[in-house]
Structure 1
Amino acid sequence: MQTEKQKKKILQLAENDERIRAVILNGSRANPNVCPDQYQDFDIVFIVNDFNSFLNDRSWIKKLGKPILQQLPDEMELGKDVNQDNFAFGFLMIFEEDYRIDLTLFPADKFESHFKTDSLTVVWLDKDHRFEKPSKPSDKDYHIKKPTQKEFTEVCNEFWWTITNVAKGLKREEIIYAKDMLENVVRPMFWQLIEWNIGNEHDFQISLGKSGKFAKKLIPKPLYENILKTYSDSNIENNWKALLIMVNIFTNEQNKLGKALKFQINTTEAENSTKYMQKTRKE
């Protein structure tokens, strides 16, 4: 019921504003595989005429509700790519009514040349019939991609090389450095291998979701519980244990995927890295 009220507000604004030519829903609310709940964002795109008028006078936002928190990524220096031409403009807003809209304005005059339709797309309004044959929404654009031998080799190499930095950091009791290396350098490689194995088990016709949000549903319970043990606190000994668990899981996942996809596996690299880590711990 609450979802319908929010949808109605969005559509009323669009229907009554001649500048807004189309309304598109993307994201999890467009995904038939996601069970809806009250915390889902509304990922909305407005195709608009007179683009700059929406930025110069932003009073139109009030028709959606009263924002209590917002972010404007396209006005921020943080994360800005100076080499990228941005035609769109995003408003990320949480409203007093307890819902969030991630709203993107896209200029209608750039539609033909620059607009890319996402597989998770539901057309809510189309005044100019730009989307005459909208396809059924699916998460196919987000399916796990099958790796090549080169990608597999490089991910494994990065993991085995960079765990040595974690080991050195823990040995020196430089916990902040060790945690940073573990979470921001090592873990992405760790998750990539797990993700590829999940993809392979489902013929690469599945998505793990943003930041592994569907992992609990897709990973066998014993493995999932072991993965959770790789997330440690600030205690040095606990971090050693977490690192060892991560290494054991990665070794199993590397062998599993390599065998399944008939990839070459650099077992010497894995063995030498593990020996180096264990030696560093004992010294």
Structure 2
Amino acid sequence: MRSEQEMMSMLIGFAENDSRIRLVTLEGSRTNKHIPRDPFQDFDISYFVTDMNSFKENDDWLHIFGKRAMMQKPEAMELFPPELGNWFSYIILFEDGNKLDLTLIPMDEVQSYFAQSDGLVKVLLDKDTLVTTEIVATDRNYWIQKPTARQFDDCCNEFWNVSTYVVKGLARNEILFAIDHLNGIARPNLLRMMTWQIGSERGYTFSVGKNYKFINHYLPKKDWEALLSTFAQHGCQEMWQSLFTCYELFRKYAKTVAGNLEYVYPDYDEAVTRYTASIYSSLK
């Protein structure tokens, strides 16, 4: 596998020698000083170009970056509608294992790019001195946010309301329906509440990472293992247990947040829990 230095030298060198590319930036985890380096990090690179069509007309110019194992061009796909507007991206896995997410951006969108940046951006090359203020990469936009009382109640409401759909799916033996609601809505709100509890006790000056990937660093071992157990969904009985464990964890963390922030924990927890228990008992 080519080293980070080799990859960066190649990507910047190509831009230096191509007059169509005027500005190059790096985004994502490789700009974040709080993320440990590893070989699985993508190279998230943006080229700001004067002539988009000359790049898009064929892919031959990409060969210089190395042999590709696979490439995706999201903005050229029909099944998945494009989301980047006038931008055009290439997601490339090279045979040596390196991963490149390369985005072409028209020159007239430089200002909007920086205006909508999430903060994790570093300027690598600026041929025309377009960036006149210092850009310092920061993950501040991903720090835990203190919830308002309304946000706290909304999270509780969404968790307990969607849980009834999980119950309905299990009662009907529609396990994919139940899994979708637990995985897609209920558990993400549990993770949100856990993060709020962490912030309420440790401060709101850090991130637990994309997809909550570092949350285990802040949870008691017992709770972390309980959370992992909720992903056991091989059958309806396992799903019921996962749901019950989610109930216990949500109740514990939400009540702690309510106590720390002097918010009111809703009483519909008891009503939904009784409803769930009655349905579960009727199936035995």
* Percent of residue pairs identical: 34
Q: Which residue in the other structure is 1:163 paired with? A: 163
Larger CA deviation: 14-23 vs 220-229: 220-229
- Structure 2 counterpart of 1:190: 190
Q: Offset at 1:203?
A: 2.1
Residue 70 of structure 1 corresponds to which residue in structure 2?
71
Query: 1: CA distance between counterparts of 2:180 and 2:112?
Result: 41
TM-score, with structure 2 as normaliser: 0.92
Partner residue, 1:126: 126
In 1, Cα distance between equivalents of 2:50 and 2:56: 12
Deviation at 1:163, TM superposition (A): 1.1
Per the TM alignment, residue 78 of structure 1 is displaced from its structure 2 partner at its CA by 3.8
Match of 2:22 in 1: 21
Alignment of 1:1-283 (within 5 A): 2-80=3-81, 86-113=85-112, 115-116=114-115, 117-266=117-266, 268-283=267-282
TM-score scaled to structure 1, two decimals? Answer: 0.93
User: 1:200 aligns to what SS in structure 2?
Assistant: helix
Deviation at 1:282, TM superposition (A): 0.3
Letter in 2 for 1:21: R
Distance 2:113 2:39 in 1: 33
Q: 2:190, 2:79 → 1: CA distance?
A: 27
User: Can you list the C-alpha shifts for 1:106-154, whole angstroms capped at 9, x where unaligned?
Assistant: 1112223554344211211111112233233221121122222222111
Pairwise CA RMSD: 1.8
Tell me, in whole angstroms, the C-alpha distance in 2 between the residues paired with 1:79 and 1:278: 41
Q: 1:46 to 1:137 in 2, by over 3 A?
A: same
In the TM superposition, residue 57 of structure 1 has moved relative to its aligned partner by 3.3
1:146-202 CA-partner distances (Å, limit 9, x unpaired)? 222222111111111111121222223222221122111211221221122223333
Amino acid at match of 1:236: C
Change (3 A) 1:201 1:90: farther
| Structure 2 CA distance for partners of 1:110 and 1:172, relative to 1, 3 Å | closer
Q: Aligned partners of 1:198, 1:45: CA distance in 2, in Å?
A: 34
Query: 1:175–1:234: 8 Å Cα contact kept in structure 2?
Result: no
Whole-angstrom CA distance in 1 between matches of 2:239 and 2:215: 23
Superposition deviation, residue 20 in structure 1:
0.8
